[in-house]
Amino acid sequence: AQSVTQPDIHITVSEGASLELRCNYSYGATPYLFWYVQSPGQGLQLLLKYFSGDTLVQGIKGFEAEFKRSQSSFNLRKPSVHWSDAAEYFCAVGPRGTGNQFYFGTGTSLTVIP
């Protein structure tokens, strides 16, 4: 069955510390991959995307993600977290050949402590 898994429901990091949020997917072929961020009561903002090519992609707000085909993973990283990064983070996949129909993980809630 197709699935997107974000194993960490909630993560707490200190401001200035590094961050890694995990995402694993299960699909027949490599899908398109995305990370979105959602602040309370808000819609989703795209952080970065992977379609093909270089497996390390850069996004906005200093975020990056690495696609690892062998592990079916697309983990999100940031070297130094800011208090404003506190939010809900969602990994999404868009299976190739199905237009732009996205499937989301259950999200990881990030708390940043001063």
Which residues of this chain interact with other proteins, rule CB under 8 A? 4, 32, 34, 36, 41-46, 49, 51, 90, 94, 96, 98-107
Q: Which two tokens stand for residue 72?
A: 């079916």
- Owner of token pair 């299960």: 26
Cβ(21)–Cβ(76) below 8 Å: yes
Which CB sits closer to other proteins, 15 or 32? 32
CB of 70 to other proteins, least distance (A): 22
Tokens of 4: 């997107």
Q: State the DSSP code for 46.
A: E
CB of 49 to other proteins, least distance (A): 5
Query: How many CB atoms are closer than 10 A to CB 64?
Result: 16
In angstroms, give the least distance from the CB of 25 to other proteins: 13
Cβ closest to other proteins, residue 18 vs residue 106:
106
Give the tokens for residue 57.
């992609």
Strands 103-104, 73-78: pairing kind: unpaired
| Tokens standing for residue 52 | 């093909």
Give whichever of 2 and 80 is closer to other proteins, judged by the CB atom: 2
Q: Which is nearer to other proteins, 15 or 88 (CB)?
A: 88
